[in-house]
Structures are given as C-alpha cells and as structure tokens.
Structure 1
C-alpha cells in the first residue's frame, strides 16, 4: 500500500481546477439507513482516482490519512483495539438504483453514529423520523462537505 501524506497540499496527484460531483442519498435496505453515494470527475470527464478524491475538497476527514487503510477501491478505519477487523468507510460499488459504479460511504456504522447524538430524543413538536434524518445529515457533514464545490 503506498504511503499517502497527511497534508493534502503535498499531494502529487490532485484533481484539476474544477471537478463535477454527482451526489445521491439512497436508502440501504440491508442496514435500514440512508447511504451517501457519489461519483466525481475532473474537467475532462475522467473519474477521479481514490488518492485524488480523498485529497479533493469533497471531504474533510476526521482522521489523518496515515491512520486509514487505503486500498484501490476502499478506505477502512482501524477497528477498536478490542476488535481487529477494520470498519469500512468509503467503498466503490454499484449504485443500487442506476447500476453505475460509484463511491459510497459504507452505512454499517451509521445507526450507531446517529444514536450517539440522539440520547435526548426529538425536540418538542418534531417527528422522531425527521429528527433522526437531520441528525444523520450532521454526521454525514462531519465527513463530506455538503455544499456546491467550486474550486
């Protein structure tokens, strides 16, 4: 596995000045939670490589790159010390609706991450489901910039 610098400015492979990102939210029937699917390409329409993608302005990673297990088509977080298995974070796979290859934030830990923030329940007058979804967007926003990207 090639070493990747923690500093995005030190990247040797960086996307061109502009990139196009197609974002989708799809319900995961397996994990029963929403999942964030996306594809990203440079100005010429070529898909971004994984190193270029994670160094792009799409992500703000909560951990230094050196702590991640980065393969060609996936990024895993190290598992807890009591569990040696890695936690999938970013994976390339088939979009469940379109069938096109794209990237997605793996939904396996979504429910637990949202639950940590929902200890107090929904605010008065707000449905629990809406509060859960708003909280999910907060969790998603800690990893992905949820705004139009224009470099």
Structure 2
C-alpha cells in the first residue's frame, strides 16, 4: 500500500492526513525546509507548522521569486543563531537586521474533520510583534491570485479561531478543496502513481500566500511507502 494513498471516496481521513504530514516532514528535514509537527498534549491531534521571515519593501510584499524569504535554517545561518534554539524563542529585536523591514509569517496545516481536508491557517506580525491586519494580509497576496480569491467565499481569506489552539488566525477557506483535489487524486490512481495529498494540496494553495514548495517534494513522493 502506498504511503500516500487516500480513502476510496477520495476524501482525506485524519489518519491519512497525519501519515502524509509525517512523510512530508521527513523530506522537509532532509532539505532543511523548516516544517515541523506540533502535537497537542494529551491528545492524538496535531498540526504541521512553518515560520518564515520575509522582507517587505516600500511598495508592499514582493513575490517569492523576488523577495528574500528566510526560513529557519537560513535565518540561523545568516544571523548566527544557535541550532539548539527554536525560532519562536528567539528575541528578534535583539538581532541587528540592518534596517531591513521583516515580517514574521507562521503557517499551520490543520485537519478539518468537517470538510475532511487540510486547512491552511496563518498569522503574521512585524518585528515588534504587532499583528498584521486583514488589509495588510491582502497586501501580501500575489496580484495574480487576488482577483480569483475575491470571486467567491470558498477562497476568501478570513479570520477564525484556530481549532486546536483557540487563538485568532487567518484562514484560506477550504470548502472547495475536495473539488480541486479530486481530479489530481483520480489521475494519480489511473496512472498508478503515488501522490502525497499534502504535497499536492500545498503546491496549489501555498503560493497564494507566498508559500512555495521546492520541486524536490514532488520527486520524493514516489520513493516513500507505508511499511
């Protein structure tokens, strides 16, 4: 059985969600991409998490190919932060950023039992810890995605309570995720190819919020199977 197999009805079960995340994180660790799994104490639940520091110019946020995106590994290298320190525990204000305006983005991938799909939760703040407003979040969305996002509520960015943390987060609405993923999963089955749901989904949804995946995630999928 492929590690990345989905349920027969093409919905994503929570067990498969966690297995796919585990698979995804294994590759992230191999390439130093910064994704980790956060478990909820005294439960079987958890979520994937990544933190990025992004530079902001005078005209707002540049697209990922043009902006400097600092993931956890690069951040430690550039600012000589010890590997034993967690990015969340670092006092960013104590580090000389040489006048660079940085925004801290935190992304969570959480399972939705209602929709039976992963959901992308995120929040952002400046170096002083001030949370970005919804208007500022919209400024961070690439221009070629903004029009599509505004076409319907299924893709609208809104603010909701994080289902596992009880804290306010922004969310990319998931109600059409199953519709978007079904052709991909059906095609993979017909071609008898392995596909990691999280990789395929995040490859589509991530770029909307400046979260691009290295191509190596896709090429690594076929090599990973469930024992």
TM value normalised by structure 2: 0.44
Q: Which is greater in Rg?
A: 2
Correspondence 1:81-96 to 2 at 5 A: 86-96=153-163
Correspondence 1:11-90 to 2 at 5 A: 17-56=101-140, 59-63=141-145, 65=146, 67=147, 77-79=150-152, 86-90=153-157
Unaligned runs of 5+ in 1: 1-7, 69-75, 80-85
Q: By how many angstroms is 1:103 displaced?
A: 0.4
Tell me the number of residue pairs that the alignment of Structure 1 and Structure 2 aligns: 117
More helix by share: 2
* 1:40 partner SS: strand
| Cα deviation code 1:113-137 (max 9, x no counterpart) | 11233341246462xxx53332112
Unaligned runs of 5+ in 2: 1-57, 62-99, 213-227
Select which of 134, 138, 146 maps to 2:203: 138
TM value normalised by structure 1: 0.64
Distance 1:134 1:20 in 2: 23
More strand by share: 1
| 1:9 pairs with 2:59 | yes
| Cα deviation code 1:31-88 (max 9, x no counterpart) | 00000111100111010012212213xx32534x4x47xxxxxxx6324xxxxxx434
Preserved contact between residue 113 and residue 139 of structure 1 (Cα < 8 Å):
no
